[in-house]
C-alpha cells in the first residue's frame, strides 16, 4: 500500500530496519530528537517478538500492512515524530487503533490528524465497520484526540474508557472514494448513536507517559507482555 498523506503528515508503514534501529539504540537522521520515546520501544519489542516486521519483513498483502504500525512523519521536515496503527486486521468488523506523538511535537494536533486519516482510510474497506480505542480516564489529552476524531464514548469502568466510531453511510463513503484517492480527508467520519459492549481487557501501564502515548499504552503494553510470556495477543 502507498503512504497515507494528510495536510501536514505522512503515515507510512514501519520497516524492519527501523524496528531494528529502535531496539538496538541506533539513531537515524530522520528521527526527531526525542524519538523513539518509551512507547516506541515497547511497540518495536512487540513487533520483533511477533515477527512483524523484524524477522520476516513487512506483510506482503496491502490490507495486512494497512492494519499494522505506521510512523508519523512531518511533511515539511521529513522527520519521524511518532507512531500510529491498528492492533491487527478486523475481527467481526472491528479494529482497535493506537497512537503516540513525541513530546517535542505535541499540542500541534498531529495525533488527531493521524487518527482521523487512518480511520478514514480503513473505512474505505467493506471489512471494517467500527474503529475502537481504549484510553485511561486520567489521560485527558488522549481523550480529546479521540473526541476530535469523531469518536464517542461507548463503555467505561473506574480506570478506562472505550471510544468508538462507526463507518459512515455508503453514500458518503462512495463520495469520499471518488475525491480523495490516497490523500485522506481528515474532516471526520461521522458516528451513529448505537453502542455495543467492547471488552476492555488491557490495564494501563503506569510506566508509559500517558500524555505522550495516548491510546497506545492501553493495549500495547499488555500485548508486549503477553508475547514475551507466550500468551495470546488480543485484537
pLDDT tens digits for range 141-152 = 999 999 999 999
Every domain of the chain and the residues it spans: 4-228
Mean per-residue pLDDT of the chain? 76
Q: Running DSSP on this structure, what letter comes out for residue 58?
A: S
In this structure, what C-alpha cell is assigned to residue 70?
505506521
pTM for the structure as a whole: 0.74
Report whether CATH 3.50.50.60 matches the domain 4-228.
Answer: no
Q: Over the stretch 83-126, which tens digit does the pLDDT of each residue have?
A: 999 988 999 999 999 999 999 999 999 999 999 999 999 999 99
Kindly report which listed range (118-122, 190-194, 204-208, 209-213) carries the lowest average pLDDT score. Answer: 204-208
- pLDDT-derived band at 49 (thresholds 50, 70, 90) equals confident
Contact by Cβ (8 Å): 82, 91: no
Q: Going along 67-159, which residue ranges are E strands? A: 69-74, 80-86, 94-101, 130-136, 152-156
pLDDT in the model for residue 214 = 52
Among all chains, which residue has been given the C-alpha cell 474508557? 161
Amino acid at each position: 500500500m502507498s503512504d497515507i498523506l494528510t495536510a501536514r503528515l505522512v503515515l507510512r508503514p514501519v520497516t524492519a530496519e527501523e524496528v531494528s534501529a529502535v531496539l538496538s539504540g541506533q539513531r537515524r537522521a530522520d528521527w526527531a530528537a526525542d524519538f523513539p520515546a518509551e512507547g516506541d520501544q515497547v511497540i518495536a519489542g512487540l513487533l520483533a517478538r511477533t515477527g512483524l516486521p523484524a524477522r520476516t519483513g513487512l506483510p506482503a498483502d496491502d490490507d495486512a500492512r494497512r492494519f499494522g504500525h505506521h510512523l508519523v512523519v512531518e511533511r515539511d521536515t521529513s522527520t519521524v515524530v511518532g507512531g500510529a496503527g491498528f492492533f491487527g486486521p478486523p475481527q467481526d468488523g472491528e479494529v482497535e487503533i493506537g497512537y503516540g506523538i513525541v513530546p517535542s511535537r505535541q499540542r500541534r494536533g498531529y495525533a488527531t490528524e493521524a487518527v482521523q486519516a487512518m480511520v478514514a482510510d480503513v473505512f474505505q474497506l467493506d471489512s471494517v465497520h467500527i474503529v475502537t480505542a481504549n484510553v485511561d480516564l486520567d489521560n485527558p489529552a488522549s481523550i480529546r484526540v479521540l473526541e476530535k476524531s469523531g469518536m464517542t464514548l461507548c463503555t467505561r469502568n473506574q480506570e478506562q474508557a472505550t471510544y468508538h466510531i462507526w463507518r459512515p453511510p455508503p453514500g458518503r463513503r462512495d463520495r469520499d472514494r471518488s475525491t480523495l484517492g490516497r490523500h485522506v480527508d481528515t474532516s471526520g467520519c461521522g458516528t451513529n448513536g448505537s453502542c455495543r459492549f467492547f471488552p476492555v481487557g488491557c490495564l494501563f501501564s503506569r510506566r508509559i507517559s500517558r500524555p505522550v502515548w495516548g491510546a497506545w499504552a492501553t493495549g500495547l503494553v499488555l500485548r508486549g507482555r503477553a508475547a514475551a510470556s507466550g500468551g495470546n495477543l488480543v485484537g
